[in-house]
Structure 1
Amino acid sequence: MCRSIKTLRPPATPEPTEADVRAAALQYVRKISGFRAPAAHNRAVFDEAVDAVAEATERLLAGLVVRGAK
């Protein structure tokens, strides 16, 4: 697990921003790919992966039901 990815669901993060989601997605893709910054020939696929992970994260957070939350 990448330790710099923080929990984004409430109550740990009451209202995660788009920037929070993108930062977590970027950290995940960096960890999986092994690249902090991809070479120019890998930039497009790297950026597409960050977008896909961010979108999946938004869907996940929107669909979670947290017990005890109002």
Structure 2
Amino acid sequence: MQCFLRDAPERITTGSSASVKGLANAITTFLAGRNGNPKRLVWRAKGKEIRRKVQGARGEAISAPKTAASSA
């Protein structure tokens, strides 16, 4: 998903389509091209590093002050 969101704006830009149908066709064409030449995902992050980041994010979320929007 991240690769799609990274690469799509190169081909599908604001104003590149005059209609929703045209936009849907552009997305379908883009995906067909990507699926025609798939690239294997290589996971580079270490498990311990991911766990450390998740635990840090949880700690920040718990200790963050509550705002009017988050308490509503």
Shorter-chain TM-score tier: 0.3 to 0.5
- Higher helix proportion, which one? 2
TM-score with structure 2 setting the length:
0.34
Q: Please tell me whether Structure 1 or Structure 2 has the larger radius of gyration of its CA atoms.
A: 2
TM-score with structure 1 setting the length:
0.35
Query: Using CA pairs below 8 Å that are at least 6 residues apart, which structure has the higher relative contact order?
Result: 1
